[in-house]
A = this chain, B = another copy of it.
Amino acid sequence: MKQTIEFRNRPKIIGSYSIVGPKEGQGPFGEYFDYVMKDDSFGEKTYELAERKMFEHAITGAIEKAGLNTGDINLMLAGDLLNQIISSSYTARDMNIPYLGLFGACSTMAETLAVGATLVNGKHFRNVICATGSHFSTAERQFRFPLELGNQRVPTSQWTVTAAGASVLSLEGEGPEITMATFGKVVDFGIVDVNNMGAAMAPSAASVIHTHFEDTGRKPTDYDLIVTGDLGKLGAEILVDLLEDKGIKLGPSYSDCGHSYFTRNQDTMCGASGCGVSASVLNSYIVKKLNKGEYKRVLFVPTGALMSTTASQQGESIPGVSHAIVIEAGGRK
């Protein structure tokens, strides 16, 4: 049964914005981000409030870059890593935009784009905004240890980024076009180590990419870029292996946002993780390359680890979920 849907009306990303923390700004994508915060607290008294302010900043920025006002946006689709996705919900309250909350852990950027594109493609709404993000200090203390503990980081660990990104979708205006979405399954290979997210997510990425090629009859060379979300170094290697076992060679067009997010000397072990990774790379580097025509067609595959302290404490393993979105340079109908 097909998991891939087509958007015949080709909803466009008519505005996009990325905001990151100082460490993230020093990485290889630094020059592409719209805004680099001077410090992670962003002038707020809690990191949760800083994360929320980042969301508002990203959303406002994307709307402005689309040449629109907040009142022109029909619906906000957003999610984040915090319990009850409070960054998204409180931002929706403060911005007074009708709201759908989504939770797909770090696959959330794909989820918001898939649902948003469906609504715009069906001409139900004119303009929707899709947003997600993460903050190192809120995620670490919720999912792992108190920051003050100063735990040593293990070789398989990844650095949860402080970053957010937002995209305005519309049928009117100019920008990269969303032409397909492949909805992924929840896949679990029995990983129980909360410091090995790459291994927990790679099987779901392999599943959805394999399904995407089966559903569409396409192959990796049909894409200028196949990019996963935040598998990191180890997870990306596992993905390549898993797909080779299924007869798919990803080849040189494959990369992972998390693996490329920091330089080697930034000391982040396997790389970056968090909703903000794929959200900020999409809404800066990838959209800019598509707008310039340097990429014609991209397979964007944010990857989520459905990690929960409650489930882990009750002995569960950590499943992953990933969704794949096809984004093409504008004007190629």
Contact = CB atoms under 8 A, between A and B. Distances in A.
Interface string A195-211: 00000000000000000
A103 B186 CA distance: 17
Copies in the complex: 2
* Majority SS at the chain A contact face: mixed
A43 to B, nearest CB: 16
Contact of A98 (B183, B188, B316): B183
Contacts of A104: 100-101
Interface in A292-333: 306-311, 314, 316, 319, 321
| Most interface-central of A2, A72, A101, A122 (chain B CB within 10 A) | A101
B46 A99 contact: no
Interface in A85-134: 85-86, 89-90, 92-93, 96-105, 111, 114-115, 118-119, 121-122, 124-125
B118 A306 contact: no
* Top 4 A-B pairs, shortest CB-CB distance: A93-B186, A5-B124, A84-B308, A98-B183
A267 to B, nearest CB: 28
A37 B228 CA distance: 43
A104 to B, nearest CB: 5
A225 to B, nearest CB: 24
B74 A3 contact: yes
B79 A103 contact: yes
8 contacts: A83-B83, A83-B308, A86-B310, A93-B185, A93-B186, A99-B184, A115-B118, A118-B118
Contacts of A66: none
A7 to B, nearest CB: 9
A48 interface: yes
A163 interface: no
Contact of A103 (B85, B93, B122, B184): B85
A240 interface: no
Given A83-B84, A83-B310, A121-B122, A185 B98 contact: yes
